[in-house]
């Protein structure tokens, strides 16, 4: 279930955000990872050791990344992205979790994605 905000709360979503550090995601050797985000997460902050494709969707299964269509997050950059909570239906079901998918552009060993949910 997505969270509804008043106009004032919506404007201040960035400044009133919670700070929840996730365990780092192992993206070594072009392994795609999927991380289910909290329904109250408005945006995420990411830092990766390697250039990565990323996307949001409603499935936890891997192999969702499209090298032709998904956005690339540059390596070594603190990157903030708003979570598109509108992709989740608001019917109270278990399908309301939005998943963040990430995969290296070029396969390199021992690489990680660090992620903070805000």
DSSP letters for 24-73: PEE-GGG--EEEEPPTT--EEEEEESS-EEEEEES---S----TTTSEEE
Least confident of 14-23, 71-80, 102-111: 14-23
Give me the residue spans of the domains in the chain: 7-117
Name the β-bridge partners of 34: 101
Check if the beta carbon of residue 47 is closer than 8 Å to that of residue 66.
no
Other Cβ atoms closer than 10 A to 83: 21
- Among 2, 48, 43, which residue's Cα sits nearest to residue 25? 48
Closest CA to 101 of 58, 68, 69: 58
Q: In this predicted structure, which of 15-19, 50-54, 114-118 has the lowest mean pLDDT?
A: 15-19
Q: What single-letter DSSP state applies at residue 9? A: H
Q: How far apart are CA 47 and CA 62, in angstroms?
A: 20
CATH 2.60.120 fits 7-117, yes or no: yes
Confidence label for 31 from pLDDT (cuts 50, 70 and 90) = confident
pTM for this predicted structure: 0.80
pLDDT digits over 34-90, tens only? Answer: 999 988 888 899 999 899 999 998 888 888 899 899 999 999 999 899 888 766 666
**pLDDT for residue 39:** 81
């Amino acid at each position: 279930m997505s969270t509804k905000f008043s106009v004032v709360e919506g404007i201040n979503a960035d400044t009133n955000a919670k700070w929840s550090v996730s365990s780092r995601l192992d993206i070594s050797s072009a392994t795609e990872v999927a991380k289910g985000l909290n329904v109250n997460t408005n945006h995420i902050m990411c830092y990766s050791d390697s250039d990565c494709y990323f996307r949001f969707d409603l499935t936890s299964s891997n192999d969702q990344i499209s090298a032709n269509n998904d956005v690339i997050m540059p390596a070594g950059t603190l990157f903030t992205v708003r979570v598109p909570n509108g992709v989740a239906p608001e019917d109270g079901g278990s399908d309301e979790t939005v998943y963040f998918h990430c995969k290296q552009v070029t396969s390199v060993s021992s690489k990680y994605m660090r992620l903070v949910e805000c």
